[in-house]
Amino acid sequence: MRILEEVSRTLNEYLLVPNLTTADCTPAAVDLSAPLVRHRVGDPSAIRIAVPLTSAIMGAVSSPRLAIALAQCGGLSFIHQNQPIESQAAMVAAVKRHKAGFRFSDTNIKPSATLGELTTLLDAAERDFAVVTDDGSAHGTFLGLISTRDFHPQRHGTGDSVESRMRRAAGLVTAPPTVSLSEANTLIWDHRLDVLPVVAGDGRLESIVLRRDYELHKRFHNESIDAEKRFRVGAGVNTRDYSQRIPALVEAGADLLCLDSSDGYSVWQHDTLRYVRETYGDRVRVGAGNVVDGRAFRYLADAGADFVKVGIGGGSICITRDQKGIGRGQASALIDVVAERDAYAQRTGEYVPVCCDGGLLSDYHMAIAFALGADFVMLGRYFARFDESPSPLVRVGGQLFKEYWGEGSNRARNVSRYEHGDSQQLVFEEGVDGYVPYAGSLYDNVATTIAKLKATMISCGSTALRAFHDNAVLVPVSHQSYLQNTAEVRLRDRPSDPGQ
């Protein structure tokens, strides 16, 4: 037996102490891009994301719709693997088929169409945006564009006409086809546009640039508008049917895979990683986990993992600690694994990114995770609350909620057993089946989260994630100071609402 000396700490138990903010620390200067896969120290990672947020490998979270929305914002989703190989591969293929902008859409629509009609049309055509012409044909006079991300039926109602919404969202400014990405960006910002149509001399629409696509691509591409982009998407895999599932996902176009298990420190993960390396070399990238200490990180990194996921028992729907007594506070786990990641990089010259997964219940928890050294984070509850997640929206006691369940819950297991013929019985549950408050659109919420992360980094005098980690000064909070932070205590001190 060995008892670790330190107490197991959560992300809640730390606060950041500001560093000097210098004149170059502005929101525009903050770079949130992050490496996703193993690379030689000093070389760039072959897969990077512009925003360090990934969505959890869960049936209630990562659907094609959410994957597209998150990729548009610069993050990445992992399509869940608690389903037959064919349906998971079909979901991956659906994301890859979707056009990431930069291209003329043949989906034309009349200005009199309603938003409801537009949604149906765009969904059927797997398009992100529609061209609006006066007569609804490809030869009609071009009026502008409307993109799915510009409206949310739940918020705006489906009766709004495309024209009225388009005028608000897209504007009618056009650019010539020779425009470069940075010129397009200037136009987009100057005119406060979400979409910029690019029109040839004869009035034909050549392509469009979307503000979010520009933000997504600008760090990695310095190209003019020529090329058709596809969204990136990841997929979960397991240690049982990997020799069939992985080839199907690769064939469907998955950009990145991840072994999906609550405890990744196992010979099964080692064998699966070896299979990927021997079969595909470096052509297929795969992460592993979850782990909570440096030993397990080293084991998976040595076996060839492209990234390692940290977190056992901290997920908002997780009852593994109650049921099995296994886990570790997320902050303690992260500190241990990050130290080993850096030692491993020094020893081997290979940098293996670390993902902080689960228990990130507020935006500031993400900031703490990055300060402690996470390269990127994985979120379940956060994304489950949005329009784009696949789970049902329900009204309970006059309030809107989205359903959210753990992959170790009876609900997830029943889907597997009854819908997919899986014969394995669930002896005990490790996850719960519940509700999370509905929070609206992913686009709005991710934009707010990014703004908060940037503001925190600026207060800490950093404009890049690695510098933020290197320079961060953190302080553990006492129970009393934690209580002082909670809204409950602050509200108690306010005069009571006279209307109550």
Residues that bind ligand MZP (CB under 6 A): 56, 58, 262, 290, 311, 315-318, 320, 357-360, 378-382, 406-409, 430-431
Which alpha helices (H) appear in 142-241, and where do they start and end? 153-156, 162-169, 181-190, 211-218
Task: Kindly tell me which of 193 and 360 has the beta carbon lying closer to ligand MZP.
Answer: 360
Task: Kindly tell me which of 156 and 324 has the beta carbon lying closer to ligand MZP.
Answer: 324
Alpha carbon 242 to its chain centroid, in Å, reads 24
Q: Is 355 a catalytic residue?
A: no
Cα 275 to Cα 256, 267, 271, distances in angstroms: 15, 12, 6
Task: Kindly tell me which of 255 and 430 has the beta carbon lying closer to ligand MZP.
Answer: 430
**Cβ atoms of residues 65 and 59 within 8 Å:** no
The minimum distance between CB 408 and ligand MZP, in angstroms, equals 3
Q: Is 283 a catalytic residue?
A: no
**Cβ atoms of residues 50 and 219 within 8 Å:** yes
The minimum distance between CB 242 and ligand MZP, in angstroms, equals 18
The annotation places the binding site at: 260-262, 311-313, 315, 318
The minimum distance between CB 301 and ligand MZP, in angstroms, equals 19
Catalytic residue among 230, 277, 321, 417: 417
The minimum distance between CB 320 and ligand MZP, in angstroms, equals 6
Task: Kindly tell me which of 194 and 357 has the beta carbon lying closer to ligand MZP.
Answer: 357
Which residues are CB-contacts of 27 (< 8 A; sequence separation ≥ 6)? 451, 454, 455, 458
Task: Kindly tell me which of 133 and 316 has the beta carbon lying closer to ligand MZP.
Answer: 316
The minimum distance between CB 386 and ligand MZP, in angstroms, equals 13
**Cβ atoms of residues 229 and 100 within 8 Å:** yes
Q: Which residue is nearest to ligand MZP (CB)?
A: 431
The DSSP result for 223-266, as a single string, is -BS----B---EEEE-SSSHHHHHHHHHHHT-SEEEE--S---S
> For residues 262-281, b (16+ Cβ closer than 10 Å) or e, as one string?
bbbbbeebbebbebbeeeee
Catalytic residue among 258, 318, 356, 460: 318
| CA 444-450-455 angle, 5° bins | 130
Tell me the catalytic residues.
Answer: 318, 417
